[in-house]
Amino acid sequence: MTASVDENTKEFKLQGSHSTPEPFNWGTYVKDSLTVILGIILATIGLEGFIIPNGLLDGGITGISLLAAGITPIDVSVYIFVLNIPFIFMGYRQVSKIFALKTFLAIITLSVVLWILHNIHFPVVTNDKLLISVFGGLFLGAGIGFAMRGGCVIDGTEVLALYLTRRASLQVGEIILLINVVIFAVAAFINGIEVALYSVLTYLSASKTVDFLTNGIEEYTGVFIISKSSEKIRRRIIAQLGRGVTIFKGKRGLMGKKAIEGGLNDMDIIYTVVTKLELTKVKNIVNEIDPDCFMTTQSINSVRGGMIKPRKLH
């Protein structure tokens, strides 16, 4: 099977081949700042209202900070700031200057707020370890997720994972998992198995919340469409969704009597990448033009280039 790229997609790639810095936009700046502030507030509630007073842990640098604060007299806010400093510099080299500056400001703000609330004895929401694990992780994960949507991180683990993926064959998620396995193993040795298990539950709750906020609605899906009306469908997708489309040249193999009489038929196969919300619109377009066509979808873990909007961090 051979493939040919649609002219609209080709034209876009040629135009975008010489990237230029995006102009400063006050609206985007304010929106990102408010998103990061919301993330810091939620992370603070998760840490001070649930996790820290009850001696549980999370994964990543936050988990290491909580573990270190539990065995030393130094406040966790100090560890969160100090341990994240190397990853701020790493983010400066691996991502961008703006990302590093945002991350520095977000982490120092989080540390200061945690220190203030710790000294004024922020009220503990509950002492039930199951509720602490689930909702503490949910608030902390929401904080991390909103910070990422604002263009920074408040935990340097993902920056480290991005750095290592460029020097190893592992994925970001695999590296983060390996780091957290070590953290929870140490926690089990120091604090006991029960605390470690509840901490794992906290981490799972936080990580699922982060995944939903960063990828949930905007998770990309690849769509293959095989239809006799492929040209109409292609035009509608480009016009209504503004998405690029790739056209594969293929042959349809028929079954039974039609296969003997007609043989193999040349046809265009449409491929496009859309978000979950846009997937419904694609299905509506296809059903309107050719309800009997063949269409498949598949989840995409990573995507770059073309008409895909890049994520803040990656």
Q: Model confidence over 210-230: pLDDT tens digits?
A: 877 876 656 688 899 988 888
Same domain, 175 and 270: no
Asked if residue 92 belongs to a domain, the reply is yes
Asked if residue 309 belongs to a domain, the reply is no
Least reliable range by pLDDT among 56-70, 244-258, 275-289: 244-258
Same domain, 192 and 54: yes
Question: Tokens 């909702």 map to which residue?
Answer: 135
pLDDT tens digits, 228-247: 888 899 898 888 888 888 88
Q: What is the pLDDT of residue 299?
A: 78
pLDDT tens digits, 123-153: 878 888 899 899 999 999 899 889 888 888 8
Q: Quote the CA–CA distance of 292 and 226 in Å, as a whole number.
A: 10
- Whether the pLDDT of residue 6 is over 80: the answer is no
Q: What is the largest distance, in Å, between two alpha-carbon atoms of the chain?
A: 83
- Whether the pLDDT of residue 3 is over 60: the answer is no
Q: Report helix angle 60-71 to 172-191, nearest 10.
A: 20
Q: What is the pLDDT of residue 110?
A: 93
Residue 10: pLDDT band by 50, 70, 90 thresholds? very low
Same domain, 165 and 209: yes
pLDDT tens digits, 61-95: 888 998 898 888 899 999 999 999 998 998 888 77
Q: What pTM did the predictor assign?
A: 0.67
Q: What is the pLDDT of residue 36?
A: 92
How many percent of the chain have pLDDT more than 70? 77
pLDDT tens digits, 35-51: 999 999 999 999 988 88
Asked if residue 11 belongs to a domain, the reply is no
Same domain, 256 and 212: no
Question: Which of 56-70, 246-260, 274-288 has the largest mean confidence?
Answer: 56-70
Same domain, 190 and 90: yes
Q: Residue 165 belongs to what domain range?
A: 26-216
Q: What is the pLDDT of residue 41?
A: 94
DSSP the chain: -EEEE-HHHHHHHHHTTS--PPPP-HHHHHHHHHHHHHHHHHHHHHIIIIIGGGT---SHHHHHHHHHHHHSSS-HHHHHHHHHHHHHHHHHHHT-HHHHHHHHHHHHHHHHHHHHHHHTTPPP----HHHIIIIIHHHHHHHHHHHHHTT--SSTHHHHHHHHHTTSS--HHHHHHHHHHHHHHHHHHHH-HHHHHHHHHHHHHHHHHHHIIIIITT-EEEEEEE-TTHHHHHHHHHHHH----EEEEEEEEP-THHHHHH-EEEEEEEEEEEEHHHHHHHHHHHHHH-TT-EEEEEE-S---STTPPPPS--
Q: What is the pLDDT of residue 135?
A: 93
Q: How many domains are contained in the chain?
A: 2
Q: Quote the CA–CA distance of 287 and 233 in Å, as a whole number.
A: 10
**Residue that terminates a domain, selected from 199, 216, 233:** 216
Least reliable range by pLDDT among 58-72, 188-202, 294-308: 294-308
Give the C-alpha distances (Å, rounded to integers) separating 101 from 3, 91, 179: 43, 9, 25
